[in-house]
Amino acid sequence: MMTAANVAKIDKTMDALVLTGVNEFEVRSVEVPEPGRLEVLCRVEAVAICGTDPEIIQGHFPGRWPRAYPFIPGHEWSGVIVKLGEAVEGFGLRVGDRVAGTSHAGCGICRMCTTGRYNLCENYGREEIGHRQYGHYVNGAYAQYIRCSIKTIFKIPDALPFAEAALVDPASIALHSVKRGQIQPGDTVAIVGAGPLGLLAMQCAFALGAARVIVVGHGERLQKVEAFGGEAVDNTQEDGVKAVRRLTDGRGADLTIDCAARGQTPRESVEMTRKGGRVVLTGVPLESVVLPLQRLVLEEMDVYGVRANRGTCEEVIPLMASQRIQASSLITHTFPLREFRVAYDTFTKRIDGALKVIVEPNPQ
């Protein structure tokens, strides 16, 4: 743990995971960046591997994420502020503060930003006027230090360990997904995908008043569903749509959240939702899917897209600190940064039931 005595000690170089091409990466020594105006430098204590990270590493978004190589990925992280940039003092941030980070920093000027939807910033990619998306096209957190905008960090209480705090970003997306779906007390919620995001969305749904949560997925991960009080559907044994209909007496879920976004899951999410229900598409599809448009229209269903989150980090942190959202139960493996290749394989191949894999750039 970083203390007041050593918090100001900053080396000139640091270890960082550097992508050099599609599926090409290595841990190498690079210069520690200097924070600019309204930026801070943080010592990274924990980074969680996100499902988007392998897609970036594998080159699924050429020319966009990343724009070019070399590049440092990583956007689910926590750490400690070690240096303040210009004009930061007036924002209540100090050296030694424990913080969690998120990826989006809006420009703060456009209509989307001024109405609070900075995750949809109209000036995406224009770094000269303040936009950033860390770990996507701006260097991220798989490094001993990260330079980031103060708009992307949130103080965390001492009761929240760094490893759990690294899940603030995905937990905030899960919370945003549930809120975007206009959840009502007593709702029956269906979630497609029993991965970390789906399990976090389930906990968020319960925290916001869901009476029942049905999670459709497969594998060992379904055991977590039942441990959290949800109802598990193994879609290798039973059709997910038919199962949700059966469990709701043919009516369907009030709210369905697709956290998988693979194959036909967006369409299946619509099919398992009741008349007048809501469907939230949280996972990022890699291919187009035909939705049942007549049903959407004739049954007055609402479909919501989700991109990251807007303003839910500060809301989810107290839920995590109070254990209403149990992030620790999703963390299955921890590796030092220099063993990133092993961590990556563990996550992508789901070795030993891997859910959330934590990488520590500064292991104690």
Specify the pLDDT at position 235.
Answer: 96
Specify the pLDDT at position 104.
Answer: 95
Specify the pLDDT at position 126.
Answer: 97
User: How many Cα atoms are found within 13 Å in the side-chain-facing hemisphere of 111?
Assistant: 0
Specify the pLDDT at position 4.
Answer: 42
Greater confidence (197 vs 285) lies with 197
- The CATH code of domain 171-305 reads 3.40.50.720
Q: Which amino acid is at 313?
A: C
Of 3-17, 38-52, 226-240, 272-286, the least confident: 3-17
Mean pLDDT of all residues in 51-69: 96
Predicted confidence band of residue 3 (pLDDT cuts 50, 70, 90) = very low
Specify the pLDDT at position 8.
Answer: 57
DSSP-assigned states of every residue in 53-115: HHHHHTTSSTTTSSSSSSB-----EEEEEEEE-TT-GGGT--TT-EEEE-SEE--SSSHHHHT
pTM, to two decimals: 0.94
Specify the pLDDT at position 306.
Answer: 96
In the chain, pLDDT over 90 holds for what percent of residues?
93
Mean pLDDT of all residues in 230-246: 97
Mean pLDDT of all residues in 60-80: 97
pLDDT digits (tens, 9 = 90+) for 302-345: 999 999 999 899 999 999 999 999 999 999 999 999 999 999 99
Examine the pLDDT at 6 and tell me if it is beyond 60: no
Closest to 50 measured CA to CA, from 298, 338, 308, 315: 308
Please name the residues in contact with 125: beta carbons below 8 A apart, sequence gap of 6 or more.
131, 133, 137
Average pLDDT, the chain: 95
Show the tokens assigned to 65. 């994420």
- 295: enclosing H helix or E strand: helix 293-298
Examine the pLDDT at 285 and tell me if it is beyond 90: no
Start-end ranges of CATH 3.40.50.720 in the chain? Answer: 171-305
pLDDT digits (tens, 9 = 90+) for 99-132: 999 999 999 999 999 999 999 999 999 999 999 9
> β-strands 188-192, 212-217: how paired?
parallel
Specify the pLDDT at position 284.
Answer: 83
pLDDT digits (tens, 9 = 90+) for 154-212: 999 999 999 999 999 999 999 999 999 999 999 999 999 999 999 999 999 999 999 99
Mean pLDDT of all residues in 221-248: 96
Start-end ranges of CATH 3.90.180.10 in the chain? Answer: 13-166+326-360
Specify the fold of 13-166+326-360: Quinone Oxidoreductase; Chain A, domain 1 (3.90.180)
